Amino acid sequence: MHHVADYDVFARLAAAQPSLTPKMARLATFVADNYVRVAFMNTRDLAAAAGVSPTTVVRFPALLGYRNFDDLRSNIQDRVNFDLTGVARLQQSALVNRSPAALLRRIIDADCDSLRALAQTFSEPQIERFTNAMLAAERVTIVGIRYVSPLTMFFEYSLAKIKENVQAYTHADSSLFDRARLMDAGDVMIVIAFARYPAELVALARYAHRRGVRMLAITDSPLSPILPLAEVTLFAKTSMLDFVGSLAAPAALITCIVSDLAARLGDQAVDRLQALEDVASEAGIYVPAGGRAVRPGASLLAWGDGQRDEASPRQEARR
């Protein structure tokens, strides 16, 4: 686990300042005074703005204990995510090309960066611990509010397909404190929290932690106030996109968790999925591509190609 003081970019800048060369000190001062701008810069942009050579910028991160410039910039972005309001994000984004085509390219590039960062930094042992805790739980409560609410609902919808007793909450009102108070050893609470961290969600997590509730977390940074409260924490970054933010990377992480859990549950997950598919078939819930009606007794998987309408082997056996 990272210590917050070691992880924060300003703490590292302060610690390194006495030993820096004049050029490095100039660069450090520029980064500290303009960290919001630096979060959006590449090495060439930063060198020009700070009045130093690109070589100085490339060497600078190692003096602060970072692997490379991308690692340093990622740490700065963590701080920016925490500090910036929606208004400030929108004002910052106005400084770049705002044509629809350029904006879409920026969004796609940012999502790709977030997904690549997840692929390079995820911890397989932590994912295994996370899914093991869910596997052992009798009841799973997922809490995520404000702009991560869609992640919360997606997690619940996907997980409930393979596991019973799953609930999601997208508002951290006082009733959730009641629920946390009544949780026992069979419960697990999953908290989804990204900067800026809502005070009511942090208060709920702290209360649940004091009550001894088993807590898992999906968050964005070792600076997250949820980190010390959770038994297991998984990290995924949201893209820095204006005042909204993209949830592509954490959604991919959630998909991985649910898929891994389904494999561990084996026949239990298959039986539950089949029961839901039977309901979908009987009720005609899904309409395939082309709008053809689904005949009774057919199996139409929600994630299939939309063309499959033959009865499943299990349904044939029942006939």
Q: Beta-carbon neighbour count of residue 167 at 10 Å?
A: 12
What is the rounded average pLDDT of the residues 252-258? 97
Same-domain check for residues 171 and 146: yes
Higher per-residue confidence, 244 vs 296: 244
User: pLDDT digits over 262-308, tens only?
Assistant: 999 999 999 999 999 999 888 888 887 776 655 555 554 444 444 44
Looking at residue 51, its pLDDT comes to 93
Q: Beta-carbon neighbour count of residue 255 at 10 Å?
A: 13
What is the rounded average pLDDT of the residues 118-139? 93
CA 158 to CA 163: how far, in whole Å?
9
Looking at residue 111, its pLDDT comes to 85
Looking at residue 197, its pLDDT comes to 87
- The whole-model pTM stands at 0.69
Residue 5 has pLDDT above 50, yes or no: no
Looking at residue 109, its pLDDT comes to 80
Residue 202 has pLDDT above 80, yes or no: yes
Higher per-residue confidence, 33 vs 314: 33
Same-domain check for residues 130 and 214: yes
Helices (H), the chain: 4-7, 9-16, 22-33, 35-38, 43-50, 54-63, 69-83, 86-93, 100-121, 124-136, 149-160, 174-182, 199-210, 248-265, 267-283, 313-318
Q: What is the residue whose two structure tokens read 């210590």?
A: 3
Structural domain including 302 reads 281-318
Same-domain check for residues 239 and 202: yes
Among 226, 225, 253, residue whose Cα is nearest residue 238: 253
Q: What CATH number does residue 185 fall under?
A: 3.40.50.10490
What is the rounded average pLDDT of the residues 161-182? 93
Q: Beta-carbon neighbour count of residue 192 at 10 Å?
A: 27
Residues with Cβ within 8 Å of 299's Cβ and at least 6 positions away in sequence, in order, are 277, 281, 308, 310, 311, 312, 315
Determine, yes or no, domain membership for 210. yes
Residue 318 has pLDDT above 80, yes or no: no
Determine, yes or no, domain membership for 276. no
Same-domain check for residues 141 and 39: no
Same-domain check for residues 54 and 18: yes
Determine, yes or no, domain membership for 102. no
Same-domain check for residues 78 and 128: no
Same-domain check for residues 142 and 229: yes
Residues in a beta bridge with 211: none
CA 66 to CA 9: how far, in whole Å?
10
CA 34 to CA 40: how far, in whole Å?
11
Among 271, 268, 276, 283, residue whose Cα is nearest residue 302: 276
Residue 2 has pLDDT above 60, yes or no: no
Counting residues of the chain whose pLDDT is more than 70, the rounded percentage is 81
Determine, yes or no, domain membership for 273. no
Same-domain check for residues 148 and 203: yes
- Total number of domains in the chain: 3
Q: Is the dihedral of CA 260, 266, 268, 269 positive or negative?
A: positive
Higher per-residue confidence, 98 vs 174: 174
Same-domain check for residues 257 and 302: no
Looking at residue 294, its pLDDT comes to 53
Q: What CATH number does residue 42 fall under?
A: 1.10.10.10
Q: What's the mean per-residue pLDDT of the chain?
A: 83
